[in-house]
Every structure is written in structure tokens, then in C-alpha cells.
């Protein structure tokens, strides 16, 4: 519905994964996992509510539908948003037991690229942070897969994996592969 879904579609296609866009509750019935891209989490929330996707999506993920979120996707999956106020209310799916602070790594002009060590991959990956959320707290069932300046930036909870940055911008597919392998049992 919103965000950089085309970059994710390209990566999944290159990995040989059959994909489809999800725009209606019926589309959710026909998928084995969902990627929620970077973009604008507030718009994602509002559009999913407007088109009747919010509750079915929340229910499917809560019941075990694997989900992979990047940047805004992380915010949309998170249980809590740090500093949320009465004037700025955003509804999240609340399926990933973590708290995030929106845009905590800076404004658009403060975007940056770095490399992150991901122990589960045994290697470092390029990471592009654009108005990125910071994970400020995690639940006991959330595994930290990578950190940046001592804060978690890649986390996993059962079949849900999320990151604060945009691996898809770099065409970096190893996190996608890790999620596919762990959540769906597909070969890396």
C-alpha cells in the first residue's frame, strides 16, 4: 500500500520467491509471509485501517504469519512508540515486543550508511539509515541480531524479524534470506 515495496519485490524475485502485493484482506489469505517495507509508518497505519487490512493483518501475524519489517515496517510492527503523545497518535500492529523511537537517528539530511556485524550471518552487511527508528526496549523473547552504537538495529521474535534501516536500498539480500530460512524454512 505504501513504501519501498518494489525493492523488496526485486530481492525476493532474485531469491526465487513467488511474491504478490497485499492490498485487501483476501490477499492475506493467500500468503505464507509478509514484508513490510520502509516508507511512512503513519500512512501505512491509516491506509491499512481505511482498506480493512489492519485487524486481519494484526490477527494473521499474531497467529504466526511470518513478517519482515524494515525501518517504517519496524515501527508498524512494534508494540510501543516512545514519546507518543495525545497530539501524535499512531496505531501499530503491536506484534513485536519492542519499543521504538521514531526518527531517532536523525532527520532526512542526517541519513547515513555504515556496515553492521550480523553474527547470525557471520559477516557484516551494508546498512542505510534514513529517518530511522531506534529500538529503545525489547521484550525477553526478542533476540538481538545486530547493534549500532549499542542499540539493537536487527531483532527477531519467532517468525517476525525487523530492522531499523533499509537493506533493500543496497540490494542486500542476506537478511531477507535469513528471515526466509528461519521463519519459512526456505533454503538460503
Catalytic residues: 71, 166, 168
Residues near 81 by Cβ (< 8 Å), separated by ≥ 6?
A: 75, 90, 92, 99, 100, 101, 102
Distance CA 143, CA 39 (A): 24
Backbone dihedral angles phi then psi of residue 83, each to the nearest 5 degrees: 75, 10
Distance CA 179, CA 188 (A): 9
Q: Of 171, 157, 182, whose CA–CA distance to 11 is shortest?
A: 171
Amino acid at each position: 500500500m505504501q513504501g519501498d515495496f518494489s525493492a523488496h519485490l526485486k530481492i525476493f524475485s532474485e531469491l526465487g520467491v513467488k511474491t504478490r502485493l497485499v492490498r485487501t484482506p483476501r490477499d492475506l489469505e493467500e500468503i505464507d509471509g509478509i514484508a513490510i517495507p520502509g516508507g511512512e509508518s503513519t500512512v501505512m497505519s491509516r491506509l491499512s485501517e481505511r482498506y480493512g487490512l489492519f485487524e486481519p493483518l494484526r490477527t494473521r501475524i499474531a497467529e504466526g504469519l511470518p513478517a519482515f519489517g524494515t525501518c517504517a515496517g519496524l515501527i508498524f510492527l512494534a508494540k510501543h512508540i516512545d514519546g507518543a503523545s495525545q497530539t501524535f497518535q499512531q496505531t501499530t500492529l503491536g506484534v513485536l515486543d519492542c519499543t521504538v523511537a521514531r526518527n531517532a537517528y536523525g532527520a532526512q539530511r542526517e541519513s547515513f550508511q555504515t556496515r553492521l556485524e550480523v553474527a547470525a550471518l557471520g559477516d557484516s552487511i551494508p546498512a542505510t539509515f534514513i529517518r530511522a527508528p531506534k529500538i529503545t526496549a525489547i521484550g525477553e523473547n526478542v533476540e538481538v541480531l545486530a547493534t549500532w552504537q549499542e542499540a539493537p538495529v536487527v531483532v527477531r521474535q519467532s517468525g517476525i524479524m525487523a530492522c531499523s534501516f533499509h537493506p533493500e536500498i543496497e540490494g542486500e539480500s542476506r537478511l531477507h534470506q535469513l528471515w526466509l530460512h528461519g521463519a519459512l524454512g526456505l533454503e538460503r
